[in-house]
């Protein structure tokens, strides 16, 4: 009984953790079955292509499905018209005509797909439309119309299923992605600022890996935020624009890179002993603030207070001003002066971008409001 209870708990936890993936699986299955049934009722010659279209266009989120369907239909429409015209003009009566026509149908569509990935379906459609008359014995024009009908059926079913069956909105996925990226940045903060108190150069490996992880997370966030914009453009959702949040987080990532580069070389004394405690305090406060912002995004709560971060930044600025007033910067070598002032500039940017982050969290906490560009 204990093993059964443990297995049941593990299964529930696994299902909750992979809720989005399970939703996609059910939507794709529903799209495939529904498209086959509709294709049978409409008496499509080859229901297979409509089913494949529905499966391809039923994506992880509604925004991604909208974008994929739009791109797929535009590419299909152009390629079907062109390949149908090539087939009507050249024909497929013999092998020479077939080879020449196939080459003429594929070359420009493949070039178009290479120049713009949004037209990736064009070569596939051109081949289907041009060669279909050799299989189902229809005219090239009828083949083009049949392909458009298949895409219309598959794309419509995929969109309807994405909207009605366990719908996953790109806005919610982008919010969750932003929260996880903020938590990743928060993990970076304490160890990053603690390096300024060390007396020897630090190992770059762990920091470089974490920076790469943050970069990859931001790329995924940008993609999902673009998909959310498609939901807003179609007026299927009235959520605030996530663009300002994405841009603010990209700037924060640049701040972290600048601070990391300054941290690679130990601070000279007495800067290390005078500024180090304030930097460690700032690292802890910044981590708490970023984690609180992540929780606020997920719960749609207001932005957290920035008092602890502001106090640490003010303390650092006051101590730095005292050090400069004592004339301790005069005898520093050029590279140390550059390090100290680059760090000061980066911390000023952190203050500004944390303020921008608070504004973005506030805007995203109010459904229906559209954020401006910071």
Cα 71 to chain centroid, rounded: 18
pLDDT of 234? 61
pLDDT of 326? 81
Task: Name the pLDDT band for 374 (thresholds 50, 70, 90).
Answer: very low
Radius of gyration of the chain from its Cα atoms, rounded to whole angstroms: 28
Average pLDDT over residues 288-310: 90
Average pLDDT over residues 281-288: 93
pLDDT of 200? 66
pLDDT of 11? 66
pLDDT of 135? 81
CB atoms within 10 A of CB 11: 10
**Considering only CA atoms, which of 285, 297, 279, 299 is closest in space to residue 358?**
297
pLDDT of 64? 80
Q: How far is CA 301 from CA 57, 243, 297, 304, in A?
A: 34, 19, 7, 9
pLDDT tens profile 238-267: 677 888 999 999 999 999 988 888 888 777
pLDDT exceeding 70 applies to what percent of the chain?
89
Q: Identify whether the C-beta of residue 361 lies closer than 8 Å to the C-beta of residue 293.
A: yes
pLDDT of 372? 39
Domain boundaries, the chain: 2-164, 170-364
Residue 215 CA to residue 129 CA, distance in Å, equals: 42
Least confident of 165-174, 203-212, 307-316: 203-212
71: burial class by Cβ within 10 Å (0-12, 13-18, 19+)? middle
pLDDT of 114? 92
Task: Name the pLDDT band for 338 (thresholds 50, 70, 90).
Answer: confident
* pTM of the predicted protein model: 0.71
Residue 68 CA to residue 20 CA, distance in Å, equals: 18
pLDDT of 265? 79
Task: Name the pLDDT band for 341 (thresholds 50, 70, 90).
Answer: confident
CB atoms within 10 A of CB 22: 14
Task: Name the pLDDT band for 373 (thresholds 50, 70, 90).
Answer: very low
Q: 286: helix, coil or strand?
A: helix
Domain 170-364 has CATH 1.10.3470: no
Task: Name the pLDDT band for 275 (thresholds 50, 70, 90).
Answer: confident
Average pLDDT, the chain: 85
pLDDT tens profile 49-92: 899 999 998 887 777 888 888 899 999 999 999 999 998 888 77
If one compares 8 and 225, the residue with the highest pLDDT of the two is 225
């Amino acid at each position: 009984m204990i093993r059964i209870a443990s297995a049941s708990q593990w299964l529930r936890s696994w299902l909750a953790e992979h809720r989005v993936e399970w939703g996609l699986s059910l939507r794709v299955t529903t799209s495939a079955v529904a498209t086959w049934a509709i294709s049978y009722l409409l008496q499509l010659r080859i229901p297979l292509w409509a089913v494949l279209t529905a499966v391809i266009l039923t994506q992880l989120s509604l925004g991604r499905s909208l974008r994929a369907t739009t791109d797929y239909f535009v590419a299909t429409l152009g390629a079907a018209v062109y390949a149908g015209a090539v087939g009507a003009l050249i024909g497929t009566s013999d092998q020479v005509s077939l080879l020449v026509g196939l080459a003429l149908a594929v070359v420009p569509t493949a070039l178009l797909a290479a120049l713009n990935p949004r037209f990736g379906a064009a070569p596939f459609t051109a081949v289907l439309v041009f060669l279909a008359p050799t299989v189902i014995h229809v005219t090239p024009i009828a083949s083009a119309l049949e392909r458009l009908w298949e895409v219309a059926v598959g794309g419509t079913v995929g969109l309807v299923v994405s909207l009605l069956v366990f719908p996953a909105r790109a806005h919610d996925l982008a919010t969750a992605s932003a929260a996880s990226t903020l938590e990743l940045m928060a993990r970076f903060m304490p160890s990053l600022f603690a390096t300024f108190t060390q007396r020897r150069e630090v190992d770059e490996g762990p920091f470089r890996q974490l920076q790469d992880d943050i970069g990859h997370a931001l790329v995924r966030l940008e993609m999902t935020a673009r998909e959310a914009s498609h939901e807003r453009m179609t007026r299927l959702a009235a959520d605030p624009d996530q663009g300002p949040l994405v841009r603010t987080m990209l700037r924060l990532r640049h701040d972290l890179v600048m601070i990391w580069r300054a941290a690679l070389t130990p601070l000279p004394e007495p800067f290390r002993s005078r500024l180090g405690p304030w930097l460690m305090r700032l690292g802890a406060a910044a981590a708490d603030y970023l984690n609180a912002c992540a929780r606020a995004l997920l719960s749609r709560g207001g932005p957290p207070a920035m008092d602890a971060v502001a106090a640490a930044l003010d303390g650092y600025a006051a101590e730095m001003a005292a050090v400069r007033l004592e004339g301790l910067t005069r005898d520093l070598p050029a590279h140390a002066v550059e390090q100290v002032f680059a760090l000061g500039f980066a911390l000023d940017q952190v203050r500004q971008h944390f303020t921008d982050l608070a504004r973005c969290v506030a805007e995203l906490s109010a459904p229906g409001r559209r954020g401006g560009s910071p």
